[in-house]
Amino acid sequence: MANIKGFGHQVILILSLSFFIISGCSTVPVPQENNIEKEEYSKVITEELIENDTPEVPLPKPVEDDKKKFIDKVNQATPKGAPESSIIKSSYNNIRRISLLLPFSSKSTRLREEAESMLKAAELAIFDLNKDDILLSVHDTAGTEEGSKKATKLAIERGADLIIGPILASSVKISSIQAKQNNVPIIAFSSDIKVASKGTYLLSFPPEPEINRLINYTTSKRLKRYAYLGPESRYGVRIQKEFIDSVANNGGRVTGLETYKGNDISVMQEPAKKLADFYLKGVKEMRRNNGRGLMSYDAILLPEGGTSLLSLAPLLPYFDVDPTKVQFLGTSLWKNEETVREPALNGGVFAAPDDKNTIKFLSHYEAVFAEESSRLAPLAYDALTISELVTRNSSNTIIENIESIEGFNGINGLVRFGSDGIPERGLAIYKIENGRFKIISPAPKSF
């Protein structure tokens, strides 16, 4: 792989002739660890974060032109032994055709950067897997519904057996309609489970499974009374619903619930104080009864990350909620270096993928491309590997293979797809302990 470093982005994929395949097991080959430093890495990204992260700005013309030329050259490549003429709807040498749909010319800087990095991860998979019976075509969705419609049409015209992408839920919805009309399954990157269905599978990290795993764990530790303090965002609403359902399904009870609009500390103070007053009321009641009775709540969920979390978490101790008596709970948004430095969160727990393989991938990616990977790039690597597994010749259809009960163990850990298209992931339970993340309940190795 060292020979790749230094080549231009365009040259890498064209030299590969757009092919990849992997060996016969369902475990993704993990790049070798090259004396890496085990830095923390946040793998969770919601469409809300992507869309709101950067303002929409005009795409620089030279980049747009270069990308179009690059994609055109990639898509003109033909497999070994193939006719030099059109490859559309051809069936030579049992070639399996995979199409990658990404927003290369999106108005969003964040989406363009994700697309570039995800394509490089696809290149990395091609070189790591080193096979030659799958043709990969690349299509630009522009990050829009109309762009996704055109890209999906092109992919289908090129005879795609399977489509990888798009990213945003609105794009996935449009692509899914066209793909189903042509019996082409999709493995997409949206985290919105509403766009998942049979034939449209999400290789992402929806927040709902995290909450279910977390509550399963905490109720097993005899925590039964819960409170919730979070934002009224799309993400917050999804978390809140799953939290209430999971607590009830595990025999617990949500006794306190407060929300706020925005991410400024000024809007967080009042709801935080209400829950703190409710907690103190329970403490006083137990003291009057000589320690008998129930606390107002045993645990409280704070579904925030970054600076919002650092504003929210200290409010509870400030209003006299004792973190050593109440278990603070979070989501995978907690998994960053800033979180572990917040004293109020020491002892807090959350569910997230085990990042052992991801850390190796990040080091491998950086060694090849001399730059850091985006957060979604490992998903692109896994998607290509899964695509090879499910498009192999067998008595099953591609959809039946995707829904295999064995699942896939990849860069981002264990995952499998139900008939509803929603991913089930093997998640670990982390605890923040003395400035470090510690796994206190390992992710499963198999389903």
Higher pLDDT, 395 or 174: 174
446 or 44: whose pLDDT is higher?
446
Are 46 and 152 contained in the same domain?
A: yes
- For the ranges 30-34, 82-86, 117-121, 346-350, the lowest mean pLDDT is seen at 82-86
Q: In sequence order, which residues have a C-beta less than 8 Å from that of residue 98 and are 6 or more positions away?
A: 134, 135, 136, 137, 160, 161, 162, 163, 164, 384, 387, 391
Q: Are 94 and 189 in a shared domain? A: yes
| 264 and 227 part of one domain | yes
For residue 69, name the pLDDT band (cuts at 50, 70, 90): low
Tell me which residue has tokens 């798009």.
166
pLDDT digits (tens, 9 = 90+) for 263-287: 899 999 999 999 999 999 999 988 8
Task: Give the C-alpha distances (Å, rounded to integers) separating 16 from 77, 103, 138, 179, 342.
Answer: 9, 22, 13, 27, 47
Question: CA–CA distance from 333 to each of 213, 262, 322 (Å)?
Answer: 15, 17, 22
pLDDT single digits (tens) 128-154: 877 778 888 999 999 999 999 999 999
Owner of token pair 């990977």? 373
| Residue that finishes a domain, picked among 352, 367, 396 | 352
Residues 122 and 197 in one domain: yes
Is there a single domain that holds both residue 140 and residue 74?
yes
pLDDT at residue number 72: 56
| pLDDT the model gives residue 208 | 93
Contact status, residue 377 vs residue 118, Cβ threshold 8 Å: yes
For residues 336 and 242, the model is more confident at 242
Instruction: Report the percent of the chain where pLDDT is more than 70.
Output: 79
Kindly write down the DSSP assignment for every residue of 385-424, as one continuous string: HHHHHHTSSSSS-HHHHHT-TT-EEETTEEEEE-TTS-EE
271 shares its domain with 401: no
Supply the pLDDT for residue 86: 33
Average pLDDT value for residue range 296-324: 96
Of the residues 352, 379, 408, which one is the last residue of a structural domain?
Answer: 352
Same domain as 405, residue 324: no
Amino acid, single-letter form, for residue 6: G
Residue 414 lies in a domain: yes
**Does residue 2 fall inside a structural domain?**
no
Domains of the chain: total: 2
**Domain CATH for 109:** 3.40.50.2300
At 223 the pLDDT is 96
**Does residue 80 register a pLDDT over 70?**
no
Same domain flag for 39 and 165: yes
Q: What is the full DSSP assignment across 301-348? A: E----HHHHHHHTTHHHHTT--TTTSEEEE-GGG-SHHHHT-GGGTT-
Please report the pLDDT score of residue 405 as a whole number: 76
pLDDT in tens, 96-134: 899 999 999 999 999 999 999 999 999 898 888 777 788
* Chain segment 196-226, per-residue pLDDT in tens: 999 999 999 999 999 999 999 999 999 999 9
Contacts of 347 by beta carbon, 8 Å cutoff, 6+ apart: 323, 324, 327, 328, 431, 432, 433
Residue 431 lies in a domain: no
Instruction: For residue 230, tell me if it sits in a domain.
Output: yes
Is 113 a member of any domain?
A: yes
pLDDT at 442 over 80: yes
Identify whether residues 184 and 238 lie together within a single domain.
no
Contacts of 55 (CB under 8 A, 6+ apart): none
pLDDT tier at 445, thresholds 50, 70, 90: confident
Instruction: For residues 51 and 187, state if they share a domain.
Output: yes
pLDDT for residue 334 is more than 60: yes
Boundary (domain end) residue, out of 330, 352, 374: 352
Residue 73 lies in a domain: yes
What number of residues does the chain have? Answer: 447
How far is Cα 53 from Cα 160, in angstroms, rounded to an integer?
32
Note whether 377 and 336 are same-domain residues. no
pLDDT in the model for residue 126: 80
Q: DSSP secondary-structure letter at 144?
A: S
| Residue 369 is assigned to a structural domain of this protein | yes
**Structural domain range at position 367:** 9-205+355-425
Q: How far apart are CA 243 and CA 185, in angstroms?
A: 31
Segment 433-440 shows an average pLDDT of 94
Cα end-to-end span (Å), the chain: 33
Tell me the pLDDT tens digit for each residue of 411-432. Answer: 988 999 999 999 999 999 999 9
- In tens, the pLDDT along 1-40 reads 333 333 333 323 333 333 333 333 334 433 433 332 222 3
Q: How much of the chain exceeds pLDDT 90, in percent?
A: 66
139 plus 106 within the same structural domain: yes
Residue 66's pLDDT band (boundaries 50, 70, 90)? low
Helix axes 377-390, 109-129, angle to 10 degrees: 50
Average pLDDT, the chain: 82
Single pTM value for the model: 0.78
For residue 399, pLDDT beyond 60: yes
Tell whether 4 is covered by a domain.
no
